[in-house]
Structure 1
Amino acid sequence: MLMKSILAAVALLAALAQTLAAADLRIGMIGLDTSHVPAFTDILNNPQNKAHVPGAKVVAAFKGGSPDIASSRDRVEGFTKTLVEKYGVKIYDSIEEMVKHVDAVFIESVDGRPHLAQAIPVIKARKPLFIDKPMAGSLKDVLEIFRLAKEARVPVWSSSSLRYSKAAQAVRGGSVGKVNYAEAASPASLEPSHPDLFWYGVHGCESLFTVMGTGCETVKRGTTADGKIEVTGKWKGGRTGIFREAKGYTGVAKGDKGEAAIGAYDGYAPLVAEAIKAFQTGVVPVSPEETIELFAFMEAADESKRRGGAEVSLAEVLKKAGK
């Protein structure tokens, strides 16, 4: 009789664990001033969306917003209204209060400058965190976010959706062998409050680092024949990676087994799926080292511009930022 009771209790606990594992994660969003907010929320909350990612729902948010950036100031109220009225998301007056009601967090603020301050209460609450591009408004803040995350043992990562295009992921997986040369192009509109490539050029730079990986040592910034931004990075072992400003998303990766086109945009769903997987497993898909190097590349490009196109080492800008 006792054995039957024990077995029944074990079965009940197993069923409960399975139910909890299957339950949707409660997602909180910080910064409702970008089109990513309704797009990501629909992917997660709407089963009728063809790109639906199961396993999580956006249930809470902190509005945020940056009065000195028009694209934030002019859109935050509209996106907030959409989340409340269409998806039933509850708005909280503080991040500290919001994190009490969620399992994981997306920082979506279009402005990278407040990301560090927004990340601190999330990390203190030990909630897994995804930070949308740009990870921060400065390399120094990127380093500090990762330092705090490591100290608290909280999974934190950042990425552009361009990293998860099928073509870029195939190359990263070895489809052309070891990549010795790559070019990636994307729009690179500027926002005066941010280093030049942080605001939008980060998309193309993310594609570049997806296929090249870490190991960039120096950066030199110039211009294309039509006056657009061109940044050439030199990697260890004589490898070269180039970012160019362009109207669309394009690129090429050349390896010891062939070459392939890269840079295409395949929607937000692959990125959202990776974020949810990271929340569920506690394992981030992009290492802090790679993201830090990506932002050092972009910061070095600005420093090269300030020096009239001189070659700048990533080690120098990292040291200046406090690493």
Structure 2
Amino acid sequence: MKIGIVDLDTSHPNAWVPILREMGHEVTAVFDGGTVHDAGAAGAFAEKHGIPVVCDRLADMPELVDVAIVHSVNWDLHAERARPFAEAGKAILIDKPMAGNARDIRQLLAWARGGVRIAGGSALRFCEEAEAWRRSRDTGDQVVTALAGCSVDDFNYGIHAYGLLLAIMGPGIESVRSAGAHIQHQVELVWRDGRRAFLSIGETAGYLPFYATIVSEREVRHIQVDADRLYRSFLAAALPDLAGESTTLSPFPPLGELLEAELAALAARRSLLEGGRAVALEEAAVSSEPGYDGAAFAAQYRMKARGLTR
């Protein structure tokens, strides 16, 4: 496929371009909106990676590509950045978190219902360690519960813990309840079939790896994810689906299942603000609340990228 890169805010574009090429895809165009970098960043990136076209306007890119990869660190820009591609019927891969409010989630789902191929979210949803656990387990050995977590923050990094938990437990989250915070935020998630699992996310004194402990009827298994292998696993899972090549033998989750991670995070935020009441995902999906503030996060990210502090 011909791929366009939208926004260069994070380390992901530099890391992903070589993987995309190794997989046989062309990276044909790049655009940067200036959220983190100054003018000229797209040109320098294109020269470094041998990308033939730098788009000064995002509207010029859809005709040049088959799929756009949206890397904006401000997740509140994701739907806006995706719009010209959705309207042109092009496939879209949206880096994590895909959206920080229910309004944008509803827009992404509406485009998908209209036939636009959209994928994205946390690479942890497709990590090799969770896949190896699924292959190795006895299908009759039912999961009792699981605990997953990571550090740094509740949403931009915390979404990875939601993704890892969904990789283990599968989709079907019914409700989410904040159990409060002690150093980190602890969250209980309940599935429609009655299963429960837990998250511990947020800032800690040191960096914590992505991890999960799975309790089944017959064993306890601990997973610690190798972050160096995440990108390739994610792209290998998502790109065939965006190309229309996903099969019944290796089905890719529909967008609604992928977005359970973001909806669960929104429900956890609301539960924490409202004293720990259980919040149904259906309630979170129709909410008009502002959700997680992508612009504020992006402003902090820009300052850190420049070695500045407030």
Query: TM-score range, shorter-chain basis?
Result: 0.7 to 0.9
Task: Tell me the equivalent position of 2:222.
Answer: 261
Task: Tell me the equivalent position of 1:221.
Answer: 178
Aligned-residue Cα RMSD (Å) equals 2.3
Which of 164, 167, 170 does residue 207 from structure 1 map onto?
164
CA distance in 2, matches of 1:81, 1:240: 49
| Unaligned runs of at least 5 residues, structure 1 | 1-24, 46-52, 67-72, 190-196
Which of 31, 37, 61 does residue 98 from structure 1 map onto?
61
Task: Tell me the equivalent position of 2:304.
Answer: none
- Secondary structure of 2:230's counterpart equals coil
Pair 159,175 (structure 1): closer, same or farther in 2 beyond 3 Å: farther
**Correspondence list, 1:30-109, <5 A:** 30-45=6-21, 53-66=22-35, 73=36, 75=37, 80-89=42-51, 90-109=53-72
The structure in which a higher percent of residues are helix is 1
Aligned residue type for 1:32: L
CA distance in 1, matches of 2:135, 2:177: 28
Q: In the TM superposition, what is the alpha-carbon distance from 1:257 to its structure 2 partner?
A: 5.2
CA distance in 1, matches of 2:138, 2:186: 24
Q: Runs in 1 of length 4+ with deviation above 6 angstroms?
A: none
- The one of the two structures with greater contact order (alpha-carbon pairs below 8 A, sep at least 6) is 2
**Correspondence list, 1:1-323, <5 A:** 25-45=1-21, 53-66=22-35, 73=36, 75=37, 80-89=42-51, 90-151=53-114, 153-173=115-135, 175=137, 177=139, 178-189=142-153, 197-223=154-180, 225=182, 227-245=183-201, 247-256=208-217, 258-264=219-225, 265=227, 266-283=229-246, 285-320=252-287
Q: In the TM superposition, what is the alpha-carbon distance from 1:252 to its structure 2 partner?
A: 1.4
- Secondary structure of 2:28's counterpart equals strand
Q: In the TM superposition, what is the alpha-carbon distance from 1:79 to its structure 2 partner?
A: 5.7
Task: Give the alignment's TM-score, normalised by structure 2.
Answer: 0.81
Whether the 8 Å contact between 1:176 and 1:255 is mirrored in structure 2 is: no
* Structure number with bigger Rg: 1
Task: Give the alignment's TM-score, normalised by structure 1.
Answer: 0.78
Whether the 8 Å contact between 2:98 and 2:259 is mirrored in structure 1 is: no
Q: In the TM superposition, what is the alpha-carbon distance from 1:30 to its structure 2 partner?
A: 0.8
Whether the 8 Å contact between 1:179 and 1:211 is mirrored in structure 2 is: no
Residues 99-155 of structure 1: CA deviation (Å, up to 9, x unaligned): 11112111111111011111111011111111110101212201211211221x121
Task: Tell me the equivalent position of 2:292.
Answer: none
CA distance in 2, matches of 1:65, 1:180: 47
Pair 213,78 (structure 1): closer, same or farther in 2 beyond 3 Å: farther
- Secondary structure of 1:110's counterpart equals coil
Q: In the TM superposition, what is the alpha-carbon distance from 1:188 to its structure 2 partner?
A: 3.9
CA distance in 1, matches of 2:233, 2:27: 17
Aligned residue type for 1:156: I
Task: Tell me the equivalent position of 2:301.
Answer: none
Residues 50-102 of structure 1: CA deviation (Å, up to 9, x unaligned): xxx32202120111233xxxxxx2x4668635522221222102222111111
Task: Tell me the equivalent position of 1:70.
Answer: none
CA distance in 2, matches of 1:132, 1:29: 11
Q: In the TM superposition, what is the alpha-carbon distance from 1:172 to its structure 2 partner?
A: 4.3
Q: In the TM superposition, what is the alpha-carbon distance from 1:304 to its structure 2 partner?
A: 0.8
Whether the 8 Å contact between 1:107 and 1:131 is mirrored in structure 2 is: yes
Between Structure 1 and Structure 2, how many residues are aligned?
275
- Secondary structure of 1:214's counterpart equals coil
| Unaligned runs of at least 5 residues, structure 2 | 290-310
CA distance in 1, matches of 2:41, 2:233: 22
Aligned residue type for 1:294: A
CA distance in 2, matches of 1:258, 1:277: 34
Aligned residue type for 1:61: V
Whether the 8 Å contact between 1:129 and 1:156 is mirrored in structure 2 is: yes
CA distance in 2, matches of 1:175, 1:297: 26
Pair 173,94 (structure 1): closer, same or farther in 2 beyond 3 Å: farther
Pair 78,144 (structure 1): closer, same or farther in 2 beyond 3 Å: same
Aligned residue type for 2:75: G
Q: Alignment identity in percent?
A: 28
CA distance in 2, matches of 1:77, 1:168: 40
CA distance in 1, matches of 2:224, 2:124: 7
